[in-house]
Every structure is written in C-alpha cells, then in structure tokens.
C-alpha cells in the first residue's frame, strides 16, 4: 500500500480533531504520513501516533505563519514529489480547500472536495460526497495524478491505532509565489467552553424566531445542558444577534452532528444544506408549515421560549 | 461569474454524472452578485477602472452576464464551446485563466463559491494558474494604489491579509448586499458590448477540457432517501418535557 499524506490541522501543536479523522480514513487506503507545518510538532507527536501516523514530516519555518496558504502548497508539493504518495488528504476548511486547489493545479492532479467517506478501490481511493443540499450521494474517484481529497470535518468517528511514528524535519525551498499573500494580523476568536461547531456531537441552533441577541441565552442554556455547540441561522447572524463564526448553512459552516436542534428556524434551503446530514434532527417552531419540519425526527409546533426552558429543566431533572 | 441551476428547485444529474442544466431554470449564482457589487463599489469609490464580466458556459449563460451588466459595469465576455460540456473545476480554471490573460486585468473578483458545485476552489486555482496572489474569502476589501487588503474569517482566527496587484480576490456574502438592477440599468445593459470567445480563441485544445478530460470521474450519483418526517406535535404545555423524553429515548440525555 502506498503512502498517504495527511495535512495536520493544529493550533500551536494542539492537533484538531479533523486530523484524527483524516488519519483514520488514510489507514483504509494506505500508510498515513502526517505533514506538520509550523511550530509545536513535539506536542503533536503523541496524538498523531495514537491515531496511526507511521511518519511525521515537519516543516518548521516562519513562512508558514507569516503568509497565507502559499507556503503550505510549496511544502506539500515538494514533499509529494519526493514521496510519491498514493493520495493527499486535507481537511475541508478554508485553508485546507484552498491549499488542495492550488496543489491539484501544481501537481497536475485530480481534486475531490468535501468527501464524507473514503474507501480503497481498484482505481485508487473512492470517495463519497453529499451534494445539492445533501439531496444526492455521489461516489467518485480521481483519474489523473495523485488524488487530492478534502474531507468534511466530523464526517467519521476517529479510531485510535497506536504507532511509534518516526519524526523527520524537512527543509522546503519556498518560491516567490509562496510569500505573495501576507498575514498582517491574526485575532483568535474568543475562546469558548463549548465544543467547536464542526466537532460537536450535538448542535443547538437559533434563528429568526429567537428575536434578539439577548434571547440567545435561551439557546445557550439548552446547549450547555447537553454539552452542545451553539449554531445560528443566517437571518440571526445578519441581524447581528450571534457571531458569524456560528452560522450554519451553505455560506457558513456545514455541520453533521449526531443531534441537531433547530429553534425558531424555518429551514430555508441554504440552512438545510448546512445541517441535513445530521443523524437526528429536532425542531421547535411556531409555524406548523415551516419547511424544517419536513426533515425532523421530532418536531414541536410551539413557542421556543416556552419549550426550551422546559426542556432545559427536564434535562436537569433527568440527570438529577 | 457562473450561471447555475436555481438552488431552490429540485436539481439532479444526467446519466453521465454531469449536472442536469436543462430541466431546471438557471440564474446568476447568488454568491457572484457580491463580487459584482464589490467591483462596482470600487469604481464608485473613484478608482479608475473598467469592469468586465466573464463567464464560461452554454448559450443561456449570457443571461448571467446581462444581469450583471444591468447592475452596472462596462462589458462582458462569454466563453462558450460545445467541447466545454462536462469540464471540471481544474479545466474551468484553465479556461478562465486563458480568458483573463487575453482580456488583461489588474484585479479579478469572484464569488466565494458557486451555489451549485459549491467547491469554492476555482478562485485559488485561477490564482495559481495566473501566478498571482489569491486573496480569498474576504468579508471586507480595500484597494490602495497597487495593494489589496482584506479581512477574512480564517479557520481559527480573524485574519487581515494583504497582497500586491495583479491579484485574484474572492468575496463572501458578508461584503454587503448586492444592488438590484434598475429599469434604466436593464435597458442600458442591452447596449453594452458582449464578446463571444471559443476554445480556439483561447488556444485551448478540445482534448484539454470536457467530460473526457476531467481529472475525476463520478462512479454513481444516487438520490438520498428523503428523510422520513417524524412526529410533529403541537405544544400542549408539555412540549419541552415530551422533547426531553424523545431525546432520552434516543440516548442523548
């Protein structure tokens, strides 16, 4: 089996869950080699080894943080040319997708984005994607070059497989193109005790029916009772009631949790595109005709300000 | 910009795995309207520039160009060729790159993704092919002299990024509402120049694009079984308690 390059998503060496998902998928189609860009590789080694990385290739250069995407493309392209991998897996994040796009052009290789599953096939990896607002399941494979595949976060459950990875430092000669887009500043988003939207098993979202920023506390309390992430519809975000980073939908974050609770969300197509692959869907809405009810496993036609506090109380009582 | 099947209609595929564009009405991809708006705003802010719209697509894709011209701008270029049918993102970026090089440019503005394929990769591929900076997913952009600066919601932080022109910039739906074409704008658009180009004009061989040259192949496209609508009950005063019972039965509590 060939080597599979996996781009590690991390913040200062703290490995993101999406990477563990990529390593788990990589093991099905070959032998995973983690590509770690930036500083903090020592801190990441244990986590990468626990999920099956055979090798860790580290590129620790200031260019990685000072410039956008370009250095990552240079590093992955140079590593790919020397390793000759059977595939390259990246997370379907902003930077992951863009890195993949440029890499595919540079390596003259086919690209598949937003895979939700990967398995081995006769002609290389076979991917599964969910398209047209998740109304279709598409199976596809790359026909030319090294398959470059981006995978949606939270699509699969990471499975540990302990290894003792070899760690190698790699020196990359960066091109002029790598330093074309400078990062002037990075302002980390406010740390939250709640799980990240893309990684949460449960998401509780509020929409137009929440009717005000201060009322989002009702959503947050149910989320906290369930250990869930908080989401918001585009209407709620556009109204300024909740930060954009929490927007669920086609132009926000696409989520696929075990449980999705939509409160005061009618379910416009753009919102449904971002959540309808959730395993269990629950909605609370005053309007019995709201399209969201077409998707639900359980729907309550009612006032979210009555239903959610009661739900919160009942969760506390049951956990008593 | 891209002419796409209406996202609110039931979209589907042909047996060869290409998008069915005939049985559904198409329109200018909503996310591209934000790019049009930003181009027009830059000109209105006093930057001396000519705005040219570019699309690749079959005959009716001209409608997307007319819509944009009705919003404002100067002229449009329509790349169309029978051999283009089925072209994937890599092929599309090649066609766009050749067309942009032929037209000449200081700045290419695109939407963040199309509303059909929604890959969001063509702007980055175009920048790579043109060998210019790709300044992507901007929520805000400013041009000063030959420098573009913007703000984007990155994966873990809010980033301010900058590059020198010429560049490819993609903008999000948070850059500001796109204007509606006025009646006067619609009438004026009919008189604005619309240039037609084919693959030969761009020096691209038919074998380089189309379904046969695609870099990936669809093995199957199947309709997901529609979700079976579960129980929807009116709140009789115990809706929250019932909901908790449902969640407990599903082992979420």
pLDDT digits (tens, 9 = 90+) for A272-297: 988 988 999 999 999 999 999 999 99
pLDDT tier at B61, thresholds 50, 70, 90 = very high
Cα separation, A149 vs A129, in Å, equals: 11
Whether A111 and chain B come into contact, CB under 8 Å, resolves to yes
Contacts of B174 in chain A (CB under 8 A): 244
Give the per-residue pLDDT at B10: 72
Q: What residue of A is the nearest CA neighbor of B128?
A: A102
Compute the average pLDDT of residues A125-139: 86
For chain B, the average pLDDT equals 92
pLDDT tier at A43, thresholds 50, 70, 90 = very high
For residue range B127-137, what is the model confidence (pLDDT) as tens digits? 999 999 999 99
Q: What residue of A is the nearest CA neighbor of B233?
A: A300
Tell me the count of A-B CB pairs closer than 8 A. Answer: 254
Cα separation, A245 vs A87, in Å, equals: 31
Q: Helices A304-319 and B239-249 meet at what angle, rounded to 10? A: 50
Q: How many CA atoms lie within 13 A of A299 on its CB side?
A: 23
Positive/negative CA dihedral, B163, B165, B167, B169: positive
Cα separation, A163 vs A284, in Å, equals: 46
Q: Is A141 exposed, middle or buried (0-12, 13-18, 19+ CB in 10 A)?
A: buried
For residue range B32-58, what is the model confidence (pLDDT) as tens digits? 999 999 999 999 999 999 999 999 999
**Contact check, Cβ <8 Å, B157/A188:** yes
Share of chain A above pLDDT 90, in %: 87
Distance separating the N- and C-terminal Cα atoms of chain B: 47
For residue A110, the Cα-to-chain-centroid distance in whole angstroms is 21
In the predicted model, is pLDDT for residue A93 greater than 70?
A: yes
For residue range B5-14, what is the model confidence (pLDDT) as tens digits? 876 667 777 8
**Contact check, Cβ <8 Å, B227/A307:** no
Ordered DSSP codes for B171-206 = E-TTS-PPPPPPHHHHHHHTTS-EEEE-TTTTT--G
- Higher-scoring residue by pLDDT: A76, B28: A76
Q: Find which of A132, A190, A266 to mutate to test the B interface (most B CBs within 10 Å of its CB).
A: A132
Q: Find which of B177, B219, B222, B228 to mutate to test the A interface (most A CBs within 10 Å of its CB).
A: B219
pLDDT tier at A154, thresholds 50, 70, 90 = confident
Whether A278 and chain B come into contact, CB under 8 Å, resolves to no
């Amino acid at each position: 089996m060939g080597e599979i390059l996996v781009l590690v998503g991390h913040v200062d060496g703290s490995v993101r869950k999406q990477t563990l998902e990529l390593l788990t998928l990589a093991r099905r189609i070959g032998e995973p080699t983690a590509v770690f860009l930036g500083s903090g590789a020592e801190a990441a080694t244990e986590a990468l080894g626990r999920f099956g990385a055979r090798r860790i290739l580290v590129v620790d250069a200031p260019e990685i943080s000072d410039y956008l995407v370009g250095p990552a493309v240079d590093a992955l392209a140079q590593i790919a040319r020397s390793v000759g991998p059977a595939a390259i897996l990246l997370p379907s994040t902003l930077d992951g997708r863009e890195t993949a796009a440029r890499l595919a052009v540079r390596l003259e290789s086919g690209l598949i984005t937003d895979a939700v599953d990967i398995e081995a096939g006769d002609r290389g990896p076979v991917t599964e994607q969910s398209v047209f607002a998740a109304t279709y399941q598409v199976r596809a494979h790359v026909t030319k070059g090294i398959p470059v595949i981006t995978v949606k976060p939270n699509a699969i459950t990471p499975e540990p497989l302990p290894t003792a990875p070899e760690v190698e430092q790699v020196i990359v000669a960066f091109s002029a193109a790598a330093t074309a887009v400078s990062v002037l500043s990075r302002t980390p988003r406010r740390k939250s005790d709640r799980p990240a939207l893309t990684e949460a098993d449960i998401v509780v979202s509020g929409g137009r029916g929440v009717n005000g920023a201060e009322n989002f506390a009702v959503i947050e309390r149910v989320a906290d009772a369930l250990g869930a992430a908080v989401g918001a519809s585009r209407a709620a975000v556009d109204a300024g009631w909740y930060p954009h980073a929490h927007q669920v939908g086609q132009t926000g974050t696409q989520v696929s949790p075990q449980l999705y609770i939509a409160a005061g969300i009618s379910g416009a197509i753009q919102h449904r595109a971002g959540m309808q692959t959730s395993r269990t869907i629950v909605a609370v809405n005053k309007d019995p005709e709201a399209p969201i009810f077409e998707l639900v496993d359980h729907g309550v036609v009612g006032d979210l300000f009555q239903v959610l506090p009661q739900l919160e109380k009942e969760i506390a009582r049951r956990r008593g | 910009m891209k002419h796409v099947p209406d996202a609110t209609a039931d979209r589907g595929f042909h047996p060869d795995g290409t998008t069915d564009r005939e049985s559904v009405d198409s329109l200018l991809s909503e996310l591209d309207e934000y790019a049009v708006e930003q181009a027009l705003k830059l000109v209105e802010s006093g930057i001396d520039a000519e705005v040219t719209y570019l699309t690749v697509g079959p005959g009716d894709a001209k409608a997307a160009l007319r819509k944009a011209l009705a919003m404002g701008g100067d002229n449009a270029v329509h790349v169309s060729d029978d051999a283009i049918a089925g072209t994937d993102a890599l092929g599309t970026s090649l066609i766009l790159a050749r067309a942009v090089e032929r037209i000449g440019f200081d700045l290419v503005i695109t939407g963040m993704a199309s509303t059909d394929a929604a890959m969001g990769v063509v702007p980055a591929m175009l920048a790579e092919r043109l060998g210019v900076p790709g300044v992507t997913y901007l929520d805000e952009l400013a041009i000063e002299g030959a420098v573009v600066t913007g703000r984007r919601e990155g994966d873990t932080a809010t980033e301010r990024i900058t590059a020198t022109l010429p560049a490819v910039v993609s903008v999000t739906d948070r850059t500001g509402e796109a204007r509606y074409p006025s009646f006067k704008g619609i009438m004026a658009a009919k008189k604005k120049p619309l240039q037609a180009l084919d693959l030969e004009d761009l020096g691209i061989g038919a074998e380089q694009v189309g379904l046969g040259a695609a870099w990936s192949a669809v093995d199957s496209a199947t309709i997901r079984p529609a979700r079976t609508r579960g129980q929807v009950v009116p709140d009789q005063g115990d809706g929250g308690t019932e909901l908790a019972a449902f969640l407990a039965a599903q082992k979420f509590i």
